[in-house]
């Protein structure tokens, strides 16, 4: 009987869930039985990708963003009591799930309460330094407190040389349980002819996802380019709408997104780390609009702008003409390495 591994991504945008897709595929390929645990759109997405697997609903962190970037930290701090309650609740639920399903290993992508002391537990994060402005030292220390409760911490990046996460994923004095596993992407590069001049892919907590969607729709009325617009709203049914030169999808499956990326000349997206890993895997040119006030995305956008890889701008200052800057940047190179899944899964 295959060993059962609980895999639990945080529901904060779709990035944590989508980067778990290659891990779930690898678990199945190596004769493990993954059990999926999450909530909200992340859980819905993974249920659509793996309808044959057991899936469990965990307590929601219910993270929402402020409408103005300057209020981001204040809004997040106000939600901390609820977040810590969700962490305590998921900790209790995890213990029950271990007994009920005879689980023999855990892989948690940023879910701080999904671990156990009696079975091997892995934490996945690209944020060993949690940037929050003048409180970075505190949020980083708190994150390390939780990470050290796990047997191993897998960082989806390279340890040395050119890397994608920069200061986020690298410590001056790394602790012993950190393993760099190389960037993760559910997508593969194909030599496809371009069907779209521009692909827009949105994700992330509300209301910022909707605010950007509305701004982009207004701006795109001026464009004559062939555009694919994926809103990042996971619903029961896929909706497709064509308005002149723009094709809108509420969401796409991994297979559809892989085709769409490969058939698109340029990409416009948030500068979330999972999107960055996908762009690197597919060697694409992109334009970033970081989520207002989200330090991690702002840091990554600045990093790739400084390195001459991708231009970016603030959400409020975006206009269509800024996309012309993409051609002045070199785009992403393939940073990926072959992940040694057999070696990593020996922990279980």
DSSP assignment string, 62-105? -----SSGGGHHHHHHHTHHHHHHHHHHHHHHHHHHHHHHTEEE
Residue 256 makes CB contacts below 8 A (sequence gap 6+) with: 249
Within 13 Å and on the Cβ side, how many CA atoms surround 341? 12
Per-residue pLDDT of the chain (348 residues; tens, 9 = 90+): 899 999 999 998 788 999 999 999 999 999 999 999 999 989 999 999 999 999 999 987 666 554 555 555 555 556 566 667 878 889 999 999 999 999 999 999 999 999 999 999 999 999 999 877 777 878 888 889 989 999 999 999 999 888 999 999 999 888 889 999 999 999 999 999 999 999 999 987 788 899 999 999 999 988 999 999 999 988 889 999 999 999 999 999 989 999 999 999 999 999 999 999 999 999 999 999 999 888 899 999 999 999 999 999 999 999 999 999 999 999 998 777 778 899 999 999
Distances (CA, A) of 137 to 129, 132, 264, 325: 8, 8, 40, 35
With contact defined as beta carbons under 8 Å apart, do 4 and 36 qualify?
Answer: no
The residues facing 288 across adjacent strands are 269, 312
With contact defined as beta carbons under 8 Å apart, do 128 and 178 qualify?
Answer: yes
Which pLDDT value is given to residue 66? 47
DSSP state of 116: -
202 vs 185: CA distance, rounded Å: 17
Which pLDDT value is given to residue 77? 59
41 vs 234: CA distance, rounded Å: 6
Helical segments of the chain, H only: 15-29, 40-49, 72-78, 80-101, 136-147, 208-220, 254-262, 273-282, 295-306, 341-345
Q: Tell me the two tokens of residue 41.
A: 């759109």
Within 13 Å and on the Cβ side, how many CA atoms surround 233? 17
Strands 227-230 and 246-249: parallel
With contact defined as beta carbons under 8 Å apart, do 28 and 12 qualify?
Answer: no
- Alpha-carbon Rg of the chain, whole angstroms? 20
Q: Taking the alpha carbons of 213, 168, 186, 107 in that order, is the dihedral positive or negative?
A: negative
């Amino acid at each position: 009987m295959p060993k059962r591994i609980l895999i639990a991504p945080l529901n904060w945008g779709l990035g944590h869930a989508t980067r778990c897709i290659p891990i779930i595929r690898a678990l199945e390929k190596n004769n493990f039985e993954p059990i999926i645990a999450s909530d909200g759109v992340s859980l819905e997405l993974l249920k659509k990708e793996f309808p044959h697997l057991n899936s469990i609903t965990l307590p929601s962190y219910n993270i929402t963003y402020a409408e103005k970037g300057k209020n981001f930290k204040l809004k997040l701090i106000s939600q901390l009591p609820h977040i810590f309650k969700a962490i305590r609740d998921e900790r209790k639920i995890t213990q029950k799930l271990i007994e009920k399903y005879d689980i023999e290993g855990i892989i948690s992508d940023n879910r701080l309460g999904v671990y156990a002391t009696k079975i091997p537990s892995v934490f996945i994060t690209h944020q060993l330094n949690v940037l929050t402005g003048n409180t970075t030292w505190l949020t980083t220390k708190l994150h390390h407190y939780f990470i050290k409760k796990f047997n191993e911490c897998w960082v989806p990046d390279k340890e040395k040389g050119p890397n994608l996460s920069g200061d986020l994923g690298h410590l001056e004095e790394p602790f012993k349980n950190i393993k760099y596993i190389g960037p993760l992407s559910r997508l593969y590069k194909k030599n496809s002819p371009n069907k779209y001049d521009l692909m827009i892919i949105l994700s992330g907590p509300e209301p910022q996802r909707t605010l950007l969607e509305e701004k982009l729709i207004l701006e795109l009325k001026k464009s004559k380019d062939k555009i694919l617009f994926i809103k990042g709203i996971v619903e029961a049914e896929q909706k497709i709408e064509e308005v002149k030169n723009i094709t809108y999808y509420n969401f796409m499956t991994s297979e559809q997104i892989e085709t769409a990326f490969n058939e698109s000349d340029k990409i416009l997206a948030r500068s979330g780390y999972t999107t960055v890993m996908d762009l690197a895997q597919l060697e694409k040119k992109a334009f970033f609009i970081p989520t207002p006030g989200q330090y991690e995305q702002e840091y990554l956008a600045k990093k790739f702008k400084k390195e001459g890889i991708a231009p970016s701008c603030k959400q409020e200052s975006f206009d269509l003409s800024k996309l012309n800057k993409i051609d002045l940047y070199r785009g992403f190179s393939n940073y990926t390495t072959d992940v040694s899944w057999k070696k990593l899964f020996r922990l279980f």
